[in-house]
């Protein structure tokens, strides 16, 4: 089944050209089916790139998805055209009376700041609390996941001495979890962050269960059943060249940066990188969408009751 996107949204043509089934809202309205309402709270600077990445993953499932793009109410983005934001995004305060089957909260390049110093922290905390009555399942990604787990459980993020940057091998710690259905015993995930969550602190919270972890970069995917949430600290959604873009940006800007580990063939930046995580990325987000479909009420107004 397709994902419903406005025909003028850049992701519409990008995904259609990749073979993803995409449907306009007008065509979707003629179908006698309730699509899953999935919202994307996009905190990343490159809004369009992030839209494409997540729409690609949730649009590849057998279920019809109706994607809603959300932004923080007062925060003004500097890296995406105002026309794009006005056309496709709604502020949180405008959607807070609506209900959604799922919500993805992205990362943000502000991990050096204490959570409480983020300019939109107070409103983001409102979003977290709102999910408990208006969203069936929430997926916090990278900084978004760290912020959620801090808000609900008081777990702190810790600054790393050097950036965790590259493709790191991870282990399936919960083979029977429905979110990891079809996963191999170990696999590679892109990582790009200056902070970490520590396993001992997560283990000290009985409500949290680590599903994926790494000896090199620590916990990756954590289930929080008590808040109907998943937290992932790494980047299954990344395109093949996202780490390359980040590396090239830092090199060009004179920012000290190591070559991303295990990413380029022979760790040679002159060679094109290989995508070794794509299949597991589709598995994870497909499993998440399927779990939402199995648990969400047919009547959206029943969510949170």
DSSP string over 11-59: HHHHHHHTT--EE-HHHHTTSSS--EEEEEE--SSSHHHHHHHHHHHHT
Q: Alpha-carbon distance 69 to 90, whole Å? A: 7
Q: Considering the candidates 134, 151, 170, 235, report the single residue annotated as catalytic.
A: 235
Token pair for 6: 């406005």
Q: Is 142 a catalytic residue?
A: yes
Q: Is 235 a catalytic residue?
A: yes
Q: Considering the candidates 51, 111, 134, 142, report the single residue annotated as catalytic.
A: 142
Q: Is 220 a catalytic residue?
A: no
**How much helix, strand and coil, in percent to the nearest 5, is found in the chain?**
35, 25, 40
Q: Alpha-carbon distance 273 to 38, whole Å? A: 31
- Return the half-sphere exposure (C-beta side, CA atoms, 13 A cut-off) of residue 257: 22
Token pair for 73: 């109410």
DSSP string over 276-291: -SHHHHHHHHHHHHHH
Active site residues: 142, 235, 237
């Amino acid at each position: 089944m397709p994902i419903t996107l406005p025909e003028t949204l850049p992701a519409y043509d990008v995904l259609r050209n990749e073979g993803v089934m995409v449907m306009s809202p007008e065509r979707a309205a003629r179908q006698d089916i309730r699509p899953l309402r999935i919202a994307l709270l996009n905190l990343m600077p490159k809004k369009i790139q992030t839209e494409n990445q997540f729409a690609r993953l949730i649009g590849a499932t057998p279920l019809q998805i109706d994607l809603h793009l959300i932004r923080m109410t007062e925060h003004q983005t500097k890296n995406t055209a105002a026309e794009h934001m006005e056309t496709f995004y709604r502020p949180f305060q405008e959607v807070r009376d609506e209900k959604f089957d799922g919500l993805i909260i992205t990362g943000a390049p502000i991990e050096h700041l204490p959570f409480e110093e983020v300019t939109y922290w107070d409103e983001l905390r409102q979003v977290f609390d709102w999910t408990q009555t208006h969203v069936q399942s929430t997926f916090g990604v990278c900084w978004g996941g760290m912020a959620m787990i801090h808000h609900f459980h008081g777990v702190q993020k810790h600054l790393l001495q050097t950036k965790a940057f590259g493709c790191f091998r991870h282990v399936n710690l919960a083979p029977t979890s429905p979110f990891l259905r079809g996963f191999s015993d170990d696999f590679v995930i892109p990582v790009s962050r200056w902070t970490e969550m520590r396993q001992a602190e997560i283990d000290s919270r009985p409500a949290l269960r680590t599903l994926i972890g790494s000896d090199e970069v620590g916990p990756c995917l954590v289930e929080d059943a008590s808040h109907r949430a998943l937290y992932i600290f790494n980047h299954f959604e990344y395109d093949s060249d996202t780490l390359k873009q980040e590396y090239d940006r830092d090199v060009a800007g004179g920012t000290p940066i190591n070559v991303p580990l295990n990413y380029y063939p022979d760790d040679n930046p002159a060679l094109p990188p290989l995508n070794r995580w794509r299949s597991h990325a589709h598995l994870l987000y497909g499993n998440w969408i399927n779990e939402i479909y199995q648990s969400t009420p047919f009547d959206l107004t029943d969510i949170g009751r």
